[in-house]
Chain A
Amino acid sequence: MSDKSDNQRSWGRRKVVRALGALPLGIILASQLSWAAPATSTGQAVTDDTVTVGILHSLTGTMAISETGAQEAEKLAIKQINESGGILGRQIKIIQEDGASDWPTFAEKSRKLLVNDKVAAVFGCWTSASRKAALPVFEKENGLLYYPTFYEGLEQSKNVIYTGQEATQQILDGLNWVAKEKGAKTFYLIGSDYIWPRTSMKIARKHIENVLGGKVVGEEYKPLGDTQFGSVINKIRLKKPDVIYAAVVGGSNVAWFKQLKAAGINSKKQTLLTISVTEDEVLGIGGENLEGFYSIMKYFQSQDNPNNVAFVKAFKEMWGDDSVIGDVTQAAYLGPWLWKAAVEKAGTFDVDAVVKASEEGDIELTTAPEGYVKLHPNHHLWSKARVGMWKKDGQAEVVYTSELIEPDPFPEGYQ
């Protein structure tokens, strides 16, 4: 009973808000030239000279390892945008919240950022689990989330812009490359046991069996955080695959590569391709344990183009010489810039207008460290896939770069 009346009340309120929202929108459009929009025109934390955004990553807990780089990159981008004059003449202010590696906390903090702080956009989340937890909040409160991680696809929310690659962008070209370059026919798939590795492996298996005409000789998932790989390594030894295809994450990742090396499996004897190792992970694994193995990513720190050289320099100036930049860190850096482009195109911070501007498919960044990216109407980025070979010093040498790949979050024939 009370449910129903609650529903009706919130429906009514929403309609009113929407109606109110439409009014100032007209005013903004009319006054675009001077950008002198009324201070709180969109119900967001926008004043005449500032606009507030949220950053929502885990600063504590097990995911802090991975998410540190992402929030550092977002702050760098925002600093650079502010130095170049801000957005629509406004300086960006940041409210940072800690997701604490706990998925319900991500939802709660999202609500806090959107409802209490009324931020114009949020840059954040890392794991698929945290995104899935925060998603209903963003959809209900009509917020805007820029999500930086490469992920399993099968999602396209109006309220999210995905700046990392979806699974097919990352996986297919890398598999083609290893089949062609290494003549690989047999594959052993191993990953951590949760949604991203399992979905990615499903796509990989379909591609290997149906497109490449190869064979999957083993598929294995280890519980998250497991550090014992002895038995799996023996199984792999027995199957003698041409390629080990790995998506092991977190602390397990380090154990996996250390134990591979300890078991005498190295790049001289075995081709290994992984979709879960970036420069960040190499810090923990140690370059000497990875030497000669391959990663498929869209970005490597060693990329030698002017955009990236400037980006790496600025990043190290802000966060220290020891810092490394991985794929997700770079994708996180794109978030604020993509938002800036969309806001300036829309001429307002209003979420609906910014999303609409983003969906027209012509927002591009020629200054992206990875080279060039373009926003597809399906909220994902056109981007290239690259294969990097790891060196002892923890950097990768890019040995293959694909063409610009169209994002396809719902790939036909791969589900």
Chain B
Amino acid sequence: MGGYSYDELGAIFAMQGFAGISLFSVLLLMALGLAIIFGQMGVINMAHGEFMAAGAYTTYLISTLTETYIPAFMPYYFVFSIAAAFLVAGTLGYLAEFILIRHLYKRPLDTLLATWGLSLIMQQSYRSIFGAREVSPTLPEWLMGAYPATDMIDIPINGMFVLGLTIFTTLAVFYLMFKSSWGLRVRATTQNRVMAGAVGINTKKVDRYTFALGCGIAGMAGAAFTTIASTGPTTGTLYIVDTFMVVVFGGAASLFGTIASAFSIAQAQSILEFFISGSMAKVFTLLTLVIILMFKPEGLFASKVRR
């Protein structure tokens, strides 16, 4: 690397490191909701991306309403819109489970088809309600721009925001799953549905809330992603492949695996991308995944559930 000073290289190294961590937090936030649904319930939710879009559109709506009616609230609305996105997407997920998914638990492959149909329905609804054009909420000024750590290092504020949100969500999910009594019931249901029912756990209720929680987290992810990209009816499809990749590579039933997988994919992708072109970086990342999955079909961290 001739012609560059050590300061410059150091700065680039720091910013590149952050780019990787930023991609990691995006991937993890996308995958968390899916990992809960896929891992705990065995439902392949093809409409995951559309629940993210629901969160993004909620943010857009709140942004527009705030701008029109209470402009003074603009700098703060974003935090509330994330909570609202969680509630809206969660409610939609609750309804979807109630109307559609619960009838298909005994036919796991049919849930794949049913949720794919659901995703098409949701896409077309967005198109009819919000129009085919992409929209972006007006973001508060403090969220945009960069934080100049030194003269040469600029850290994107939205990246830090997404990172913070991801850490918060991950910790919350871990607390829910492994420390709360509700999490205990979810895990019990996953391990042995009949037995869990026999000891008095309402497994149907557990399913419904698990699904709603997964969709709600997807909604939060969607809200957070309005800071880095735009929202259109088909936005969800942009994310769904990466999301599944993270969950499958991590090992379906393991939340820890999801984190590890998001981290390794993100670092591999962003480091490769720095040295070769974006398309080739993606090819190499995917090739590596395929090869690893050939030897470890269960993913990085196979679940230790008795079958």
The interface of chain A, by Cβ under 8 A from chain B, is: 59-62, 64-65, 68, 193, 220-223, 225-228, 230-235, 237-238, 251, 254-255, 258-259, 261-264, 280, 283-286, 288-289
Contact = CB atoms under 8 A, between A and B. Distances in A.
B278 A59 contact: no
Contacts of A222: 278-279
B138 interface: yes
Interface string B267-307: 00111011001110110000000000000000000000000
Contacts of B277: 220-221
Interface stretch (B12-20, B72-80, B88-96, B174-182): B12-20
Q: Which 8 A-B pairs have the closest CB atoms?
A: A230-B19, A264-B146, A64-B132, A254-B230, A262-B156, A264-B154, A284-B134, A255-B229
B273 A231 contact: yes
A44 B271 CA distance: 59
Given A222-B278, A232-B278, A238-B8, A259 B228 contact: yes
A258 B79 CA distance: 19
Contacts of A223: 278-279, 282
A61 B227 CA distance: 23
B195 interface: no
Given A68-B131, A234-B274, 20 more contacts: A61-B234, A62-B234, A193-B278, A221-B278, A223-B279, A227-B225, A227-B229, A228-B269, A228-B270, A230-B22, A231-B19, A232-B273, A232-B278, A238-B4, A251-B230, A254-B229, A255-B230, A263-B146, A264-B156, A288-B144
26 contacts: A220-B277, A222-B279, A223-B278, A228-B269, A228-B270, A230-B156, A230-B159, A231-B270, A232-B273, A234-B274, A235-B274, A254-B229, A254-B230, A255-B230, A258-B136, A258-B228, A261-B145, A262-B146, A264-B145, A264-B146, A264-B148, A264-B154, A283-B134, A284-B135, A284-B232, A286-B136
B188 interface: no
B103 interface: no
A26 B276 CA distance: 63
Given A230-B270, A234-B12, A234-B16, A65 B132 contact: yes
A218 to B, nearest CB: 10
B158 interface: yes
Nearest to A101: B234
A230 B159 CA distance: 10
Contacts of A225: 237-238
A71 to B, nearest CB: 11
Contacts of B278: 193, 220-223, 226, 231-232
A360 B23 CA distance: 56
B133 A238 contact: no
Contacts of A259: 156, 228
B134 A254 contact: yes
A234 B229 contact: no
Q: Which of B26, B230, B281, B282 has the most CB of A within 10 A?
A: B230
B39 to A, nearest CB: 25
A227 B134 CA distance: 14
A258 B227 contact: yes
B132 A262 contact: no
Interface residues of B, number: 50
Secondary structure of the A contact surface, majority rule? helix
B136 A230 contact: no
B144 A251 contact: no
A283 B232 CA distance: 12
B187 interface: no
Interface string B137-163: 010000011101000001011110000
Contacts of B232: 62, 65, 251, 284
A45 B123 CA distance: 36
Contacts of B148: 264
B19 A234 contact: yes
B154 A263 contact: yes
A62 B233 CA distance: 8
Contacts of B157: 262
Contacts of B144: 258, 261-262, 288-289
Contact of A65 (B15, B26, B134, B145): B134
B191 interface: no
A96 to B, nearest CB: 14
Nearest to A190: B278
A12 B286 CA distance: 52
A59 B157 CA distance: 36
B33 to A, nearest CB: 18
A59 B279 contact: no
Interface in B221-256: 225, 227-230, 232-235, 237-238
Contacts of B279: 193, 221-223
B76 to A, nearest CB: 19
B127 interface: yes
Given A221-B278, A234-B19, A255 B228 contact: yes
Q: Which of A223, A230, A289 has the most CB of B within 10 A?
A: A230
B267 to A, nearest CB: 11
